[in-house]
Amino acid sequence: MHASLMMNGLAAGQALETRPARHVIRPSRAAAEMAVRTLIRWAGDNPDREGLIDTPARVCRAYEQWFAGYDADPTEFRQRTFEEAAGYDEMVVLRNIHFVSHCEHHMAPIHGRAHVGYLPRNRVVGISKIARVVDAFSKRLQIQEKMTAEIANTLDADLQSYGVAVVVEGAHGCMASRGVHQSQATMVTSRMLGQFRDQPQTRHEFLSAIGLGRSSACGNLFP
Interface with Zn ion (CB under 5 A), residue total 4
Identified binder of Zn ion from the candidate list 34, 35, 174, 218, rule CB under 5 A: 174
The residue at minimum Cβ distance from Zn ion is 174
How would you class 78 by CB atoms within 10 Å of its CB: exposed for 0-12, middle for 13-18, buried for 19 or more? Answer: middle
Q: Where are the alpha helices (DSSP H) in 96-143?
A: 127-138
Which residue is catalytic, options 33, 102, 103, 142? 103
CB nearer to Zn ion: pick between 66 and 118:
66
Taking CA atoms, 201 is separated from 73, 89, 195, 213, in Å, by 33, 16, 9, 11
Q: Cα-flanking dihedrals φ and ψ of residue 192, to 5°?
A: -115, 130
Residue 200 CA, distance from chain mean position: 24
Annotated catalytic residue 102: no
* Interacting residues with Zn ion between 94 and 113 (CB under 5 A): 103, 105-106
Annotated catalytic residue 98: no
DSSP 8-class letter at 22 = G
Annotated catalytic residue 2: no
Window contacting Zn ion (CB under 5 A); options: 26-34, 90-98, 132-140, 173-181: 173-181
CB nearer to Zn ion: pick between 129 and 172:
172
* Interacting residues with Zn ion between 34 and 63 (CB under 5 A): none
CB nearer to Zn ion: pick between 131 and 174:
174
How would you class 184 by CB atoms within 10 Å of its CB: exposed for 0-12, middle for 13-18, buried for 19 or more? Answer: exposed
Annotated catalytic residue 174: yes
CB nearer to Zn ion: pick between 73 and 104:
104
Contact indicator for 186, 170 with CB cutoff of 8 Å: yes
**Least distance (Å) between residue 223 CB and Zn ion:** 29
Binding region for Zn ion (CB under 5 A): 103, 105-106, 174
Q: Hey, which residues are catalytic here? A: 103-106, 144, 172, 174
